[in-house]
């Protein structure tokens, strides 16, 4: 059964304290892994797409990496405005763009 | 521009009311989606439209009725909802239904059913 798991469920960091969020997946035929940021009561905001193991993408303080079993979202020197829920989603089908979402990691950055 | 707009932002309705949610995108995307999201849960797919035709219906109750009048607009008609239908309703769009197509989400409509 296809499964996407994110850890930790919640993470509290001091401002400037770097850390990583994990998205592990057990799916057959990964076609793409997507990272989103979601603020409370708002829609998910697209961050990155990764397609193959070894791929890395960066944007400001965020860096996403992908292996054959998991993806990491590294946050370097976070700021309070990075506080949000981070969702990963995987796409496995060749016949439709159906996402399987993880349950998310709620990040709080304390000033 | 990767903007998807949704109206209204908030909606409160009784169980006997009929209301509609609206979604619009002007990115030329040919696939559009409706998701339902409960608090502290990930989005759950409800419907997918591709080239204005319903492609996926995830066994959603008939009190939710989607409509795609044209390639830029997506509606969700609501009738005889239950309190447990209260949630954030998200619209998304993507270039097509290819596995590598990114979905871009709107800000959502917060629905409360009394």
**Whether A96 and B2 lie within 8 Å, measured CB to CB:** no
Average pLDDT of the segment spanning A50-54? 93
The alpha-carbon gap from A105 to the nearest alpha carbon of chain B, in Å, equals: 10
**Whether A43 and B4 lie within 8 Å, measured CB to CB:** yes
B66 close to B74: Cβ distance less than 8 angstroms? yes
Q: How much is the pLDDT for B2?
A: 66
**Whether A93 and B110 lie within 8 Å, measured CB to CB:** no
**For all residues of chain A together, what is the average pLDDT?**
92
Interface of B with A (CB under 8 A): 2, 4, 6, 31, 40-43, 45, 48, 55-56, 88, 90, 92, 94, 96-108, 110
Residue A60, CB-side half-sphere exposure with 13 Å CA sphere: 6
What is the chain B residue with the closest CA to A89? B42
**Whether B43 and A101 lie within 8 Å, measured CB to CB:** yes
CA dihedral B4, B8, B10, B12 (to 10 degrees): -140
Residue B79, CB-side half-sphere exposure with 13 Å CA sphere: 5
Task: Give residue-wise pLDDT tens across range A82-107.
Answer: 999 999 999 876 656 678 899 999 99
Of chain B, the percentage scoring pLDDT greater than 70 comes to: 98
Q: How confident is the model at residue B1 (pLDDT cuts 50, 70, 90)?
A: low
Average pLDDT of the segment spanning A58-83? 97
Interface test with B, best of A44, A55, A108 (most B CBs within 10 A): A44
The DSSP secondary-structure symbol of B99 reads: T
B5 close to B23: Cβ distance less than 8 angstroms? yes
Q: Is B74 exposed, middle or buried (0-12, 13-18, 19+ CB in 10 A)?
A: buried
Does pLDDT of A3 surpass 90?
no
Q: Is A110 exposed, middle or buried (0-12, 13-18, 19+ CB in 10 A)?
A: exposed
* 3-state percent helix, strand, coil for chain B, nearest multiple of 5: 5, 55, 40
Beta strands B73-79 and B18-25 are: antiparallel
- Does the beta carbon of A40 lie under 8 angstroms from any beta carbon of chain B? no
Of chain B, the percentage scoring pLDDT greater than 90 comes to: 83
Cis peptide before A8 (omega within 30 of 0): yes
**Whether B42 and A34 lie within 8 Å, measured CB to CB:** no
Task: Give residue-wise pLDDT tens across range B56-83.
Answer: 888 899 999 999 999 999 999 999 999 9
Of the candidates B71, B91, B70, the one whose C-alpha atom is nearest the C-alpha of residue B27 is B71
Q: CA-based angle B26:B28:B34, to the nearest 5?
A: 75
Rounded Cα distance between B21 and B78, Å, is 8
The alpha-carbon gap from B15 to the nearest alpha carbon of chain A, in Å, equals: 23
């Amino acid at each position: 059964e296809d499964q996407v798991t994110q850890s930790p469920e919640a993470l509290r960091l001091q401002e400037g304290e770097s850390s990583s969020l994990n998205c592990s997946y057990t799916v057959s035929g990964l076609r793409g892994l997507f990272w989103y940021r979601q603020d409370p009561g708002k829609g998910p905001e697209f961050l990155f797409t990764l397609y193959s193991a070894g791929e890395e993408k960066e944007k400001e303080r965020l860096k996403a990496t992908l292996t054959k079993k998991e993806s990491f979202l590294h946050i370097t020197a976070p700021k309070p405005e990075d506080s949000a829920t981070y969702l990963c989603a995987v796409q496995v089908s060749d016949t439709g763009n159906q996402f399987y979402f993880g349950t998310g990691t709620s990040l709080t950055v304390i000033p | 521009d990767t903007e998807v707009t949704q109206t209204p932002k908030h909606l409160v309705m009784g169980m006997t009311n009929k209301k509609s949610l609206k979604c619009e995108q002007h990115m030329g995307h040919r696939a559009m989606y409706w998701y339902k999201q409960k608090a502290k849960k990930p989005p759950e797919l409800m419907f997918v439209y591709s080239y204005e035709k319903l492609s996926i219906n995830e066994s959603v109750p008939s009190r939710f009725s989607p409509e795609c009048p044209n390639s830029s607009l997506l509606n969700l008609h609501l009738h005889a909802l239950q309190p447990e239908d209260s949630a954030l309703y998200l619209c998304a769009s993507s270039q097509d239904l290819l596995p590598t197509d990114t979905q871009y989400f709107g800000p959502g409509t917060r629905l409360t059913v009394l």
